């Protein structure tokens, strides 16, 4: 009898627990049930919570974002995989990858680069060095002065300089203070005075007052690096050279012609894409484009003649009407940088730059 009563009592406990769990799931009665049976509640509710992920009701909320097809076996790896799969594999991820261009073969790169140069040649058939000069001496001095200033400012300054000191001998023997006063509009006029006077003395002492026509001789002159040397060689002597200035560096990297950052390495990388005979005009085409359309901060992508070939298309303004407002110099109807530009430039609608002090 005792055994039966004990068993009866044992049977009554789970019956009450079942009622409590049912009352808890019912809604409003769950709160009173929780207060009446504190000892049984945590035990009974903790068990279903742990068992729930294996069931159908609880996992539904967790499995939904990953998909119904993913069973419990794939649930563990999916915790680390969704970020990888949903990011690059999703629609949003597919829109961003085009920024780094698709890998292209060497042959494809050469073809694209040369086609860009051909397109630029059609857009700028009048491309030329934007420094006024009449002889190699004037060009090398003007190029040295163009550091840290615009070609326009140099072109507005050099007429007075060359009128007073037309030869290397004249400039080498000049009064530094007088030269500084003439060069003041160029900025850094004291340092530039030392450079052009030192350059003139070197020409007189080492080269008989003549500008040498060899790269190895030019780079020995004070203030003359490879960039200046190639400007002189290509435009005063007709010897091919690539001018790696700030515009050239910016554009060839935008076009993915090279990932190099040092001028010498950029020169070598780009030079390998083109015949040597095209180097000088290539430099003019790229620099013209960088100054007129493909600006550093806000390129006029919507008005760019090589947009279909450019991996960086979209970095600037793509709306054609808005892009037109960003164009500079002759492309925008404004004066150029040379006071005495080539006739071809004038024939194409180019406007000469105003002299210094003309507003």
Catalytic, 319? Answer no
Residue 96 among the catalytic residues = no
Task: List residues bridging with 335 in a β-sheet.
Answer: 351
DSSP code string of 12-55? HHHHHHHHHHHHHHHSTHHHHHHHH-TTHHHHHHHHHHHHGGGS
Catalytic residue among 74, 217, 245, 322: 245
Are the C-beta atoms of 85 and 78 separated by less than 8 Å? no
From the list 41, 132, 151, 227, the catalytic residue is: 227
- 109 backbone dihedrals φ, ψ, rounded to 5°: -65, -45
Nearest to 282 by CA among 338, 339, 230, 214: 230
CB 282 within 8 A of CB 267: no
Q: Distance between CA 347 and CA 341 in Å, rounded?
A: 10
Number of Cα atoms under 13 Å in the Cβ half of residue 66: 21
- Residue 358, token pair as written in the block: 């003309």
Which amino acids are annotated catalytic? 227, 245
């Amino acid at each position: 009898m005792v055994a039966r009563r004990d068993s009866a009592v044992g049977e009554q406990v789970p019956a009450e627990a079942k009622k409590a769990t049912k009352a808890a799931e019912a809604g409003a009665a769950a709160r009173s049930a929780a207060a009446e049976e504190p000892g049984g509640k945590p035990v009974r509710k903790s068990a279903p919570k742990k068992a729930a992920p294996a069931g159908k009701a609880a996992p539904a909320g967790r499995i939904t974002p990953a998909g119904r097809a993913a069973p419990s076996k794939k649930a563990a790896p999916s915790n680390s995989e969704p970020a990888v799969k949903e990011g690059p594999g999703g629609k949003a991820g597919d829109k961003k990858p085009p920024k780094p261009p698709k890998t292209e073969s060497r042959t494809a790169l050469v073809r694209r680069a040369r086609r860009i140069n051909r397109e630029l040649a059609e857009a700028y058939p009048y491309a030329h060095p934007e420094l006024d000069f009449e002889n190699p001496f004037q060009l090398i001095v003007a190029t040295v002065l163009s550091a840290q200033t615009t070609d326009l400012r140099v072109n507005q300054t050099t007429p007075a300089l060359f009128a007073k000191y037309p030869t290397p001998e004249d400039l080498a023997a000049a009064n530094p203070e007088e030269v500084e006063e003439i060069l003041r509009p160029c900025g850094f006029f004291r340092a530039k005075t030392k450079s052009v006077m030192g350059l003139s003395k070197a020409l007189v002492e080492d080269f008989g007052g003549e500008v040498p026509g060899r790269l190895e001789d030019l780079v020995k002159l004070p203030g003359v690096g490879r960039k200046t040397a190639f400007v002189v060689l290509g435009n005063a002597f007709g010897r091919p050279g690539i001018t790696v200035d700030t515009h050239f560096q910016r554009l060839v990297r935008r076009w993915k012609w090279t990932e190099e950052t040092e001028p010498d390495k950029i020169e070598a990388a780009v030079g390998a894409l083109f015949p040597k005979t095209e180097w000088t005009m290539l430099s003019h085409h790229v620099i013209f484009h960088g100054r007129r359309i493909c600006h550093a901060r806000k390129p006029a992508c919507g008005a760019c003649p090589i947009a279909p070939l450019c991996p960086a298309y979209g970095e600037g303004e793509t709306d054609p009407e808005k892009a037109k407002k960003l164009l500079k110099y002759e492309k925008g109807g404004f004066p150029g940088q040379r006071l005495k530009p080539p006739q071809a430039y004038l024939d194409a609608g180019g406007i000469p730059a105003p002299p210094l002090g003309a507003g």
